[in-house]
Amino acid sequence: MRFWSDAWTNGEAIPERFGAGRLTDTGVAYSDNLSPPLAWGDLPTGTRSLVLICHDFDVPSDAGDVNQPDREVPADLPRVDFFHWLLVDLAPVAGAFAEGQWSRGFTPRGKPGPAAADGARQGLNDYTGWFATDADNSGDYFGYDGPFPPFNDSLIHHYVFTLYALDVAELAVRGRFDGGQVREALAGHVLGAATLSGTYTLNRRLRGAA
């Protein structure tokens, strides 16, 4: 399998327009939140559907120090996964997504789902939980919402896009499914997988910003 983006090279920094958050002169703000252009090919024989997952594995396990201007989140704090995109039941053919095809701008309370174009389905990303107690933003966040790591995190975050080729036409998840459910349902059905990674930070010290 091959899987790539024309917007950045594997392992490099993800351009700001694909983030949900960006730096400003005075702090942070929502960014363009465009879904990235992605392309794939050379699928395994017998592929019946594709699944795309994007997750960040550098998310602080404890939010106590998150976005506190007088300190940084310690690098040695245990980290957990945060799912940014869950897209299942994609057609089993070589293809590509255009920039902004799945997301343009940040939508308070979340974009609709799970039904998506061409018979695909989108799961709940983890902004659903992050904003659960926020009166202005709580809701079901389906589809893609990009990087918005803590502005005071001492780690540069890593975002992994993984494309899976499956031997089933429809993944066995229903309703408001999440990342854990998708991973569980993948078991025993993966014919092949390919990854594309990128980094993102809003820490001015790490970006070399003044």
Q: Please write the tens of the pLDDT for every residue from 163-210.
A: 999 999 999 999 999 999 999 999 999 999 999 999 999 999 998 754
pLDDT at 101 exceeding the cut of 70: yes
Count of domains forming the chain: 1
- The CATH number given to whatever domain includes residue 133 is 3.90.280.10
**Prediction pTM value:** 0.96
Residue 209: per-residue pLDDT: 54
Instruction: Please give the single-letter amino acid code of residue 157.
Output: H
| CA distances to 171, 184, 191 from 167, in Å | 10, 15, 6
3-class DSSP state of 119: helix
Structural domain of 176: 2-207
Radius of gyration of the chain (CA): 17
Give me the chain's average pLDDT, please.
97
